[in-house]
Structure 1
Amino acid sequence: MKLLKKLIPILEWLPGYKKSQLRGDIVAGITVATVLIPQGIAYALIAGLPPIYGLYAALMPQLMYAVFGSSRQVAIGPVAMDSLIVATGVSTLALIGSESYIAIAILLALMVGSIQLLMGLFRLGFIVNFLSRPVIIGFTSAVALIIGLNQFRNLFGVEFLQSDQVHILLEDIINRISYFSINTTIIGVIACIIIMIFRKINKKIPNALIVVVLGIIVLRFFENYFLDVAIVKGVPSGLPKFTIPIIDIALVRELFPIAVTLVMVGYLEIISIGKTLEAKQDEYRIRPNQELVALGLSNIVGSLFQSYPSTSSFSRSAINEEAGGKTGVSAIVSVLIVILTLLFLTPLFYHLPKTILAAIIIVAVFNLINIKEAKRLWRANNLDFWLLIATFFSTITFGIEHGILIGVGLSLIVLIFRTSRPYVIELGKVPNSDFYRNKHRFNEVVTDREVLVFRFDAQLFYANSNYFREKLEEMVEEKGKTLKLIVLDAESINRVDSTGIEMLKERIKYYNKRNIAFYFAGVKGPVRDAFFRGGVLEVVSLDHFFMRANGAVNFFKTGDNQNQKKYAQYIHQAYD
């Protein structure tokens, strides 16, 4: 039963559901639905799909996540970023809005879900750890800018190009901006202002719903004055039918890079949102691999009911938590309201101006451009700042797909750089104590010309073994001909590979020939085992392993230490 609860988290919280939670969940579900419905219609337009598909993407994915998701407050459904990625990928394979375009978008949801499910089942959630926070922020900010600029076509009523490369967008906007529709622009700009005012007053106010209702009323009763304003027109009623997507192997190959991008972006979003919400309560904990399973099932089942790829929404998740949502019941309430809308209310959206939808999207996504974090990184960490900037400009220049790949590549390069050049420092003795500390941070520490005690702050492996050797040679050269003892404080070394061991053995032999002893201090058990298996005891005595650097120096100075003999015996017994 415990395993079943872990696989299906709803079984964990539903049996203990409290009546006191119901009111908050119902209010949160209604509030999220009032935001989700206009957003769903808007995001479907970004994806190049008919508006109804935005509502389809708000049904089964939400329901499946409520059952299988480890977070009880994350809101699933159509989002702006995924919608643009879908448009970018699918528009190269079919005409936007055509039957084949819709079929490909639905197949993409099935592919994304399958990859996510397999990653979750095989516990591959750690892969996303290779995307650092600066890369995520740079990528998210760039995509937000791309999405916003793409919506200028609806905001101004001009058929600008759709692209995920900002320079192409800006060039087309500059060349054709003079053809803008005055009425369309006025309605769109006023909607933007209203949304921003309501957001400043109180974020709980359903600003998207308010501008949608106002827009429909204006166009419904004053249609003759706004003939040039594009409206949504017919949104069909009814629930999505169960259909199995047509699987074409050649098409699957074409879509695979886009699917992987959507998997990475979707997982990053849900983990970052889930962790943020998790920190605000003590009821549950996010399980990354379970989130992949939940997202996978949401997209797979969603694709069977005509949904395009969906993931978690930053704004709707925050609204859900702020409105009092505590469990997945709020998502179920939200689904019921979307069902009622699909069955009875879609005709009301006939007169909805597309410029209103553009306003909703533009205000929402431009808030994702994180200038504050870039400023903070500039002060805190220059390398992370340039990583963010490089990812941002790569994405807006080369497009979303290449941007995420460049971001991953840069993250790996920075990771390799940092692990291949870790912190290496000489330690000095704190007066009247047994402790050794960084000589550059503690001015009062004492160093000895005959002794070099140094610390290596990383695992020792093939990527940094040469760096270890170079830094050691520099410190030895600085000590000069008076040096008689080298002590490696290995407390910070948590792993070592064969390359690192062979380099150590070679260095020990070299310094022994120069009559310089080589001792180890603070070696962790697993690292010590690796040393012994690698043959370190062939070049150094077991007596030369110490608990602390101070013990190593004392042993060298006095030539005898009862405690060290006991420690050597202890190690010998443990090794045997």
Structure 2
Amino acid sequence: MPYKASNINIIDVEFDKHRSSDGVPYLINRNVLKQDELEFMAGYDRQKDSALTSIKGNLKELKPKNILTDLCPILKWLPEYPLKKNLTNDIISGLTVAVMHIPQGMAYGLLAGVDPIVGLYMAFFPTLIYVLFGTSRHISMGTFAVVSIMTSKIVATYSDPNYGSVISNLTQTMSEDGNPVYPYSPFQVATAVTMVCGFYQIIMSILRLGILSSLLSEALVNGFTTAAAFHVLTSQLKDVLGLKLPRHKGAFKIILSLKDMVMNITNANPNAIYIAVACIAFMITMNEFIKPWASKKCKFPIPAELMAVVGFTIASYTLNLGGPIYKVRIVGNIPTGLPIPTMPPFELLQLVAIDAIAVCIVSYSINMSMAKIFAKKEYYEVRPNQELLALGFSNIFGSFFSCIPLCCSLSRSLIQYQAGGKTQLTSVISASIILTVLLWFGPLFETLPRATLAGIIIVALKGMFMQIKDLKRFTKEGILETAEWIGTFLTVIIIDIDIGLLTGVIISILALYIKGLKSYSSMLGQVPNTDIYVDLKTHKNAIELQHVKIFHYSGSINFATCSGFKKELFDNIGINQRVIRRASLCESQSEARNFNNNLKTLIIDLGSVAHIDMSGYRTFMEIKNDMKLISVNVFLANASDCVYDSLTHAACLGHPAFECFSTVHDAVLYATNKSDL
């Protein structure tokens, strides 16, 4: 079909004060263009590739070499590894992180409800698998406080605290509080959770669901981790006090745990309190004063946590703190060597399947948050779906070796980056150091007081507690962000971690829905002597055109928003449904025109409309019919390709077509010239 432009010319506009670099004035000199004319001139092809064509194209791009390097990124970066530039930094960073892994791993292993040695397994088995498949170069994988405390909840629910006792295994089926007792060890439950998390993450990767991490907004994650820090603190207070208390499951765990501590405070062990207070004082002194001073003198950070572990282990061994005199609870037996690969019980996988969902999502979201931070600083790409695959493989492999779910540590990752780590070779160096500890040096820490590990964990929570200050920032961002933070925080604190996370996700989804429904509308006026149209309320020099009103709308126009769109339009142009009804009763058009205040043309600017459905199109038709009653023409302008496609599709289905112009100015000139004819 031959192209034929509208038979109206735009008047040449010359800007005397605004000239190009070569002194030539800017001119506008072309025909008024309707949208279909513009699409013809630009050669717009509305036909999209079929699904089969897209699949064939993707298959052509796939090569065996690309598949292998995409699946296993180490095959791509390791052959190109610059030894002279990066090796020294990676070795120093690996040694530094290994030193942190020992105390943190033991502490967070204990926090997860399993033996401290599990934390060291975490720094070796799954970490090496992540090196093969992960895309982040700087995060330090292993144990993390929030994931450990979430795992401990599942361990407490499905494991028997007296596992190994003949009486417990054969006769006891109900606990004193009426909850069932399952015949599984804490190790079995923890590894079952790890395996299920791994399967979930691989399935999510296959389904390309890496984008789901975006459901956990910054406000949600901030409120969740801050509240989780209180769970971690509460879980450690019993070791600080030297008390052995029953484990609480389900809702109001913090409240019930604090109640038990208060009721049993007279049974507290003063020696454990002295050790914890001394450890906390030492760590605060090192972190707040010595480390900042030393960081200016040398690149290698002071291993304060390891110094505390070694010092209190020696003191405990020398004074026999775990003996009958002092009665301090110690770490106890730490086996040497590597664990024998063991498959978690199959029936246990079914039991923990629901509970593991929250652990899976939280660990992945924290990983992606940290990975994106470092990737942005160092200008490289982190692939969300590949990260899911790396976590999935790491967790499944780790589940055979007594590991809990894998996650990066915020503090260790920061130290790894600050120590100069360039690639995941840092993790290989760190894992090698941990291997020597597992094979030979583990039993040296058997006399370490648990109160020492509790003190290290409590001090490490400072950063998470300080996140409370971020609430002020979220209140400035908006009421929805504030609601996400407060709702998640209070639910996690008062009820439980998994319920709090679910609450936060629901609030986050509602916030997204509300933001999607939220719109912005305004009436536009012309900047004098230009083809630019701006909001009349906020631009005092803009002028409103005679007989023409231009309505600008920002948002989607669909079944959920179309009624609000219509109401905003009528409110802005000063015409309501009562006027339309009265005009419909008039016997002549001249009489009906008296209701429109000399308005002849209504232009709807669609430049900020992202989507329109059939309900939205029918709303346009209603507006057009209503405006026709008062002799007002309705034009559309500035539609994006996807919106224009929707309008064209609706017209093809038998609905009357709209006159749609390429720009607002085209519509204005067309309306002005038409009214003058």
Is the TM value for this pair above 0.5?
Answer: yes
Q: Which residue of 2 aligns with 1:506?
A: 622
Cα deviations across residues 481-533 of structure 1 (Å, max 9, x unaligned)? 22332222111122222332232233323323332222111101121111111
Say which of 243, 265, 272 aligns to 1:158. 243
Say which of 494, 508, 525 aligns to 1:428. 525
1-side partners of 2:162 and 2:601: how far apart? 75
Cα deviations across residues 258-290 of structure 1 (Å, max 9, x unaligned)? 2110111011101110011112213x3111111
Contact kept, 8 Å, 1:48 with 1:97, in 2: the verdict is: no
2-side partners of 1:376 and 1:556: how far apart? 48
Alignment of 1:311-460 (within 5 A): 311-369=407-465, 370-448=467-545, 450-460=547-557
Cα deviations across residues 146-181 of structure 1 (Å, max 9, x unaligned)? 111211111121234545733333333333334332
Contact kept, 8 Å, 1:419 with 1:463, in 2: the verdict is: no
Shift of 1:440: 2.9
Q: Per the alignment, do residues 451 and 166 of structure 1 end up closer, same or farther by CA in structure 2, a change over 3 Å counting? A: farther
Shift of 1:449: 6.6
Q: Which amino acid aligns with 1:228?
A: K
Q: Which amino acid aligns with 1:516?
A: V
Q: Per the alignment, do residues 168 and 507 of structure 1 end up closer, same or farther by CA in structure 2, a change over 3 Å counting? A: farther
Q: Which residue of 1 aligns with 2:270?
A: 182
Q: Which amino acid aligns with 1:325?
A: G
Which of 358-367 and 405-414 deviates more?
Answer: 358-367
Contact kept, 8 Å, 2:236 with 2:458, in 1: the verdict is: yes
Alignment of 1:109-148 (within 5 A): 109-148=194-233
Q: Which residue of 2 aligns with 1:202?
A: 291
Shift of 1:227: 1.7
Contact kept, 8 Å, 1:58 with 1:78, in 2: the verdict is: yes
1-side partners of 2:363 and 2:625: how far apart? 53
Q: Give the secondary-structure state (helix, strand or coil) at the position aligned to 1:518.
A: strand
2-side partners of 1:383 and 1:70: how far apart? 33
Q: Which residue of 1 aligns with 2:673?
A: 558
Give structure 1 stretches of 5+ with no counterpart: 562-576
2-side partners of 1:169 and 1:517: how far apart? 71
2-side partners of 1:159 and 1:473: how far apart? 69
1-side partners of 2:278 and 2:540: how far apart? 63
1:519 aligned onto 2:616: no
Q: Which amino acid aligns with 2:148?
A: S
Contact kept, 8 Å, 1:421 with 1:467, in 2: the verdict is: no
Which of 442-451 and 237-246 deviates more?
Answer: 442-451
Q: Per the alignment, do residues 379 and 511 of structure 1 end up closer, same or farther by CA in structure 2, a change over 3 Å counting? A: same
1-side partners of 2:615 and 2:346: how far apart? 47
Q: Per the alignment, do residues 338 and 261 of structure 1 end up closer, same or farther by CA in structure 2, a change over 3 Å counting? A: same
Q: Which amino acid aligns with 1:180?
A: A
Contact kept, 8 Å, 1:257 with 1:401, in 2: the verdict is: no
Q: Which amino acid aligns with 1:326?
A: K
1:102 aligned onto 2:187: yes
Alignment of 1:234-273 (within 5 A): 234-248=333-347, 251-273=348-370
Q: Per the alignment, do residues 50 and 327 of structure 1 end up closer, same or farther by CA in structure 2, a change over 3 Å counting? A: same
Q: Give the secondary-structure state (helix, strand or coil) at the position aligned to 1:426.
A: strand
Say which of 215, 225, 230 aligns to 2:329. 230
2-side partners of 1:187 and 1:539: how far apart? 80
Q: Which residue of 2 aligns with 1:12?
A: 76
1:491 aligned onto 2:607: yes
Which of 446-455 and 52-61 deviates more?
Answer: 446-455
1:3 aligned onto 2:67: yes
Q: Which residue of 2 aligns with 1:473?
A: 570
Contact kept, 8 Å, 1:508 with 1:540, in 2: the verdict is: no
Q: Per the alignment, do residues 35 and 197 of structure 1 end up closer, same or farther by CA in structure 2, a change over 3 Å counting? A: same
2-side partners of 1:474 and 1:458: how far apart? 17
1-side partners of 2:633 and 2:339: how far apart? 77
Q: Give the secondary-structure state (helix, strand or coil) at the position aligned to 1:264.
A: helix
2-side partners of 1:452 and 1:166: how far apart? 61
Q: Give the secondary-structure state (helix, strand or coil) at the position aligned to 1:535.
A: helix
Shift of 1:395: 1.1
Q: Per the alignment, do residues 501 and 536 of structure 1 end up closer, same or farther by CA in structure 2, a change over 3 Å counting? A: farther
2-side partners of 1:247 and 1:477: how far apart? 69
2-side partners of 1:487 and 1:165: how far apart? 60
- Give the structure with the larger helix fraction: 1
Say which of 537, 546, 549 aligns to 2:664. 549
Q: Give the secondary-structure state (helix, strand or coil) at the position aligned to 1:92.
A: helix
1-side partners of 2:127 and 2:141: how far apart? 5
1-side partners of 2:437 and 2:635: how far apart? 75
Q: Per the alignment, do residues 520 and 96 of structure 1 end up closer, same or farther by CA in structure 2, a change over 3 Å counting? A: farther
Q: Which amino acid aligns with 1:321?
A: Y
Instruction: Point out 4+ residue stretches in structure 1 off by more than 6 angstroms.
Output: none
1-side partners of 2:385 and 2:368: how far apart? 10
Q: Which residue of 2 aligns with 1:82?
A: 147
Give the TM-score, by structure 2 length: 0.79
* Rg larger for: 2
Paired residues, number: 557
Q: Which residue of 2 aligns with 1:24?
A: 89
Q: Give the secondary-structure state (helix, strand or coil) at the position aligned to 2:608.
A: coil
Shift of 1:540: 5.6
Q: Which residue of 2 aligns with 1:574?
A: none
Cα deviations across residues 37-69 of structure 1 (Å, max 9, x unaligned)? 111111111111112222222222100111100
Contact kept, 8 Å, 1:50 with 1:97, in 2: the verdict is: no
Q: Which residue of 1 aligns with 2:127?
A: 62
Q: Give the secondary-structure state (helix, strand or coil) at the position aligned to 1:279.
A: helix
Which of 442-451 and 56-65 deviates more?
Answer: 442-451
Q: Which residue of 2 aligns with 1:192?
A: 280
Q: Which residue of 2 aligns with 1:565?
A: none
2-side partners of 1:142 and 1:184: how far apart? 26
Which of 107-116 and 225-234 deviates more?
Answer: 225-234
Contact kept, 8 Å, 2:364 with 2:388, in 1: the verdict is: yes
Shift of 1:29: 1.1
Shift of 1:316: 1.1
Shift of 1:349: 0.5
Q: Give the secondary-structure state (helix, strand or coil) at the position aligned to 2:346.
A: coil
Q: Per the alignment, do residues 437 and 97 of structure 1 end up closer, same or farther by CA in structure 2, a change over 3 Å counting? A: farther
Shift of 1:245: 2.3
Q: Give the secondary-structure state (helix, strand or coil) at the position aligned to 2:542.
A: coil
Q: Give the secondary-structure state (helix, strand or coil) at the position aligned to 1:155.
A: helix
Q: Give the secondary-structure state (helix, strand or coil) at the position aligned to 1:269.
A: helix
Shift of 1:116: 0.4
1-side partners of 2:275 and 2:159: how far apart? 32
Identical pairs, percent:
31
Give the TM-score, by structure 1 length: 0.92
Q: Per the alignment, do residues 170 and 9 of structure 1 end up closer, same or farther by CA in structure 2, a change over 3 Å counting? A: same
Q: Which amino acid aligns with 2:645?
A: D
Contact kept, 8 Å, 1:420 with 1:467, in 2: the verdict is: no
Contact kept, 8 Å, 1:145 with 1:366, in 2: the verdict is: no
Cα deviations across residues 366-420 of structure 1 (Å, max 9, x unaligned)? 3213122111122332331232111100111120111111011001111111111
Which of 461-470 and 443-452 deviates more?
Answer: 443-452
